[in-house]
Amino acid sequence: MDAFARFTNQTQGRDRLFRAIQYTCMLLRYLLEPKADREKVVMKLKKLESSVSTGRKWFRLGNVVHAVQATKQSVHVSELVPRFCLTIANLNRVIYFVCDTILWVRSVGLISDINKEKWRKLAARHYYYSLLLNIIRDVYEISLQMEHVAQEKAKREKSMPQNHLGPCVADEETEWLQSFLLLLFRSLRKHPPLLLDTVKNLCDILNPLDQLDIYKSNSGVIGLGGLLSSIIGMITVAYPQMKLRT
């Protein structure tokens, strides 16, 4: 199982490359569809997108094993909130990849009597749960980083001369918002892996939100989100230090 997991890790880069191509096709198709003289190009992009999506299934067959191993590792995370979020998220990913494999079996014709829509909805639901829990974990980590930055700022301000002229009441709300956004910016700037992971999860969740009719998006938004997520995925494969650690 360890050797198989290492093999799937090596194929992750290729999977993300094909994923970027798939969502690039989706985005270009959305941009070209309104133009009447681009019908042939749109059809070619649609076929390429479908072919790449089918081809990616081969890279993802081992993801069930990888997700199971990730679940085992997340159980040993020291902090309660990340441990809970990561463990449940990875369990949902296991179910998602099982559903995805069943859909692949149907698509290649090995088993025909499979309710495609039922399994697609089930896969989308568990993918959504997994991403939602990962986003909750990201928010938790961001709050810790913001608390740390705020404490450092408070220490610096204690050593500086105090200005007793406070802001007027009308500006307090605006100043609070500006301070919050500045604190958020500084926290994420000091922790690039957390920023990348948060952006990636927010981009990824657009697809299941649309499939489950929770929040409808057009193919352009989903294509752009998928492309950004794929680029981040390739960055974390090429530079493992940019991947958020458990």
- Render pLDDT for 39-85 as a digit per residue (tens, 0 to 9): 889 999 999 998 888 777 776 666 777 888 888 999 989 899 999 99
CB under 8 Å, gap of 24 or more: what pairs does 74-80 form?
A: 74/246, 77/246
User: Does any domain span residue 208?
Assistant: no
77 and 137 inside one domain? yes
69 and 149 inside one domain? yes
96 and 30 inside one domain? no
State which amino acid sits at residue 70: A
35 and 76 inside one domain? no
116 and 145 inside one domain? yes
The mean-pLDDT minimum among 31-35, 53-57, 88-92, 201-205 falls in 53-57
102 and 143 inside one domain? yes
CB-CB neighbours of 26 under 10 Å: 22
Please give the tally of structural domains in the chain.
Answer: 2
What residues contact 196, with CB distance under 8 A and at least 6 apart?
Answer: 232, 235, 236, 242, 244
Roughly what angle, to the nearest 10 degrees, separates helices 192-204 and 116-158?
150
93 and 134 inside one domain? yes
146 and 130 inside one domain? yes
Express each pLDDT in 168-216 by its tens digit: 554 666 788 888 899 999 999 999 999 999 999 999 999 999 999 999 9
User: Does any domain span residue 197?
Assistant: no
Express each pLDDT in 127-145 by its tens digit: 999 999 999 999 999 999 9
pTM of the model: 0.86
Q: Is residue 38 helix, strand or coil?
A: helix
State which amino acid sits at residue 3: A
User: Does any domain span residue 128?
Assistant: yes
Residue 224 structural domain: 1-60+218-245
13 and 67 inside one domain? no
C-alpha torsion angle, residues 225, 209, 11, 192 (rounded to 10)? 50
Q: Where are the alpha helices (DSSP H) in 33-167?
A: 39-60, 63-74, 80-107, 116-158
User: Does any domain span residue 147?
Assistant: yes
User: Does any domain span residue 165?
Assistant: no
5 and 78 inside one domain? no
